[in-house]
Structure 1
Amino acid sequence: MNIAQDWIGRAWQSEDQITARRAAEFRATLGPQHCAGEASPCLQWCLCPDILEPSQLGRDGHPRKGLVLPDLGLARRMWAGGKITSHQGLFAGEQITRSTTLRDLRYKEGRSGRLGFVELEHRYSCADELRIEEVQTIVYREDPSDDEPPNVPARAEDWPKAESRAVLPTSTMLFRYSAMTFNGHRIHYDHPYATGVEGYGGLVVHGPLQATWMMHLACDIMGRVPAQFSYRGLSPLICDRPAMIEARPAAGGLELRLREVEANIVTMSATAS
């Protein structure tokens, strides 16, 4: 058995407080993309980060593999997707406990090589009240090779009746979101590393930030926080490339996507109900 399989079933807890400053930083970073109302959906991704000393970090700025999450023998890490069940919002002044369980770990063969998937379950509570349940999937990949076939995403289909918002991700926006989430992943701020080591076309927009944009558009359209919100990463969104956050009616709720305008490709999709 792979040693990493021993991680399945491991559970741990962490605590954090939603300060007024953190809530204000979140709203300021989202700016016009923040939904109306007092709730700040997806604020939980700014809570309970892994806090390690520099000596405990890997080459990518994340905690070294094998400390917080298992070492799958694969170099690159990205958010693959997830599902959020919202029972009630999170608000400034509250003390939050996050309980995490590593539910699954599996390997697959992709067109660019071996992939490793880690599935985490997070439960966010205030006192004894469960506020948010989340299943998060992280994907690990091999380093790019010179003979790796280029990934050419399919062009987005036309959504003629979609509600939409324009967004231009900038390096300042990415830096502030990284700081607010204590995310040291170098693909979001270190251009030479992102392009020269991990093979991206520029700085990469955070997966959770893209999901947050779609969640907040869904909130404004539906007039409430969706009880269920599922999202899936499809292609990297690169900094300084204009994008559209789009939504259209679907059975039981909304279908949403993040579309990079110039290339007309979908970088993340979601459903809300």
Structure 2
Amino acid sequence: MDDATLNTLKSWIGRSITRHSDLPVFGAQALAGAINHTEAPDTGNPLPLPWHWLYFLDPTQRDSTGEDGHPRKGGFLPPVPLPRRMWAAGALDIAQPLVLGLATEKTSSITSVEAKNGRSGPLVFVNLKHELRQGHDLCITEEQNLVYREAPRERSELPPGEMATEGPEFSREMTPDPVLLFRYSALTYNAHRIHYDREYAVNEELYPALVVHGPLLATLLLDLVYEHFPGARIEKFKFRAVRPTFDNHPFTLCGRRSGNHLLLWSVDHHGYVCMKAEATMTL
């Protein structure tokens, strides 16, 4: 990437946008149904983490949507001239939980834009900071890391991945299916076709199957925590995607506890680690 292009992208640093939501209960109840909860949160209840990703969505118009389903380049995010975008990592610092049904403000700002060369070619990293407030209280501070890369020119097998070094103390096996992926796409207004359009995912982006959303995996890892530690309050959470997960095989959510610190990860049917995460909780 030439210096002029990178300088143009860096001119987006410092841009910010503020959105508002009353956190209507339907989104949370719909996600609860999608991930098979028998009980769902109601108005006035704390919103589980990271379910705030269901809110503050950008209602992109149809004629402002690219062929892949993403919004066209430009706007709030910089117009990175690389076609494949993914939410690679993130971190949450939670001062207090959000409450469903209350007026909530989210301010997002672009904090950095960096270009690097990786094994797959040029990469551009765009980092964002989000602050979520209810009333005068700062509830959640979030860092979001996006990475842009070139599209593959030919179909190829994924290279061998990293195996988990320790076994889990608690776990849950899941079999993803197109209905779950479609529902999560709809609830997060994510039109990226790799998650619900199998023909596009396989023939255009050259994946072996539909891709399980990284944010969905992060959500399910924290759901595993809530399952095994009812009433836990999550104070910090960070995650990083290291390998894609596909819908044509089961995957396993895993966790280990050391005091109030949790190591969390997901593994595919080969035993390769796909997402790594850590959380701090109080009971």
What TM-score do the two structures reach when normalised by structure 2? 0.89
**Which of 148, 164, 170 is equivalent to 1:163?**
170
Partner of 2:203: 196
Q: Which of 204, 227, 238 in structure 1 is aligned with 2:235? A: 227
| Counterpart residue number, 2:180 | 173
AA matched with 2:21 = D
Other structure's SS at 1:227 match: strand
* Alpha-carbon distance between aligned partners in 1 of 2:53 and 2:246, rounded to the nearest angstrom: 21
- Please give the residue correspondences for 1:1-273 in structure 2 after superposition, counting only pairs within 5 Å: 1=4, 2-32=7-37, 39-146=47-154, 150-157=157-164, 159-222=166-229, 223-250=231-258, 253-260=261-268, 262-273=269-280
**Which blocks of at least 5 consecutive residues in structure 2 are unaligned?**
none
Could you tell me how far 1:250 is from its partner in structure 2?
4.3
Paired residues of 1:171 and 1:240 also in contact (CA < 8 A)? no
Q: Give the Cα–Cα distance (whole angstroms) in 2 for the partners of residues 158 and 103 of structure 1.
A: 34
**Separation in 1, partners of 2:24, 2:37:** 21
How far apart in 2 are the matches of 1:132 and 1:229? 11
How far is the alpha carbon of 1:152 from its aligned partner?
1.1
Deviates more, 1:89-98 or 1:162-171: 89-98
Greater shift, 215-224 or 31-40, is seen at 31-40
Q: What SS does the aligned partner of 2:56 have? A: coil
User: Matches of 1:134 and 1:35 in 2, distance apart?
Assistant: 24
The answer (yes or no) to whether the contact 1:27–1:34 under 8 Å persists in 2 is yes
Distance in 1, matches of 2:259 and 2:158, equals 31
Distance 1:129 1:70 in 2: 30
Q: Provide structure 1 residue ranges, at least 5 long, that are not aligned to the other structure.
A: none
| Residues 255, 270 of structure 1: 8 Å contact kept | yes
**Which segment drifts farther, 111-120 or 159-168?**
159-168
Q: Decide whether the 8 Å contact of 1:166 with 1:244 is kept in 2.
A: yes
**Residue-by-residue CA offset, 1:179-208 (whole Å, 9 max, x unaligned):** 111111111111121112222111111111
Q: SS where residue 111 of structure 2 aligns?
A: strand
Local SS of the residue matching 1:177: helix
Could you tell which deviates more after superposition, 250-259 or 50-59? 250-259
Residue 163 (structure 1) shift: 0.7
Measure how far apart 1:123 and its partner are.
0.8
Q: Deviations over 1:209-235 (max 9, x none)?
A: 100111122234454132110100011
**The residue matched to 2:148 in structure 1 has which SS?**
strand
Give, in whole Å, the separation in 1 of the partners of 2:146 and 2:253: 23
Q: What is the deviation of 1:162?
A: 2.3
TM-score by length of 1: 0.92
Q: Give 1:92 shift.
A: 2.4
8 Å CA contact retained: 1:188, 1:206: yes
Contact 2:113 2:124 survives alignment (8 Å): yes
RMSD: 2.2
> 1:150 Cα shift?
4.5
Q: CA deviation at 1:106?
A: 0.6
- Which secondary structure state, in structure 2, belongs to the residue aligned with residue 176 of structure 1? helix
- Would the alpha carbon gap of residues 33 and 79 (structure 1) be closer, same or farther in structure 2, given more than 3 Å must change? farther
SS in 2 for 1:3: helix
Residues 1:41 and 1:157: Cα distance change in structure 2 (over 3 Å): closer
**How far apart are residue 156 of structure 1 and its match?**
1.7
SS in 1 for 2:185: helix
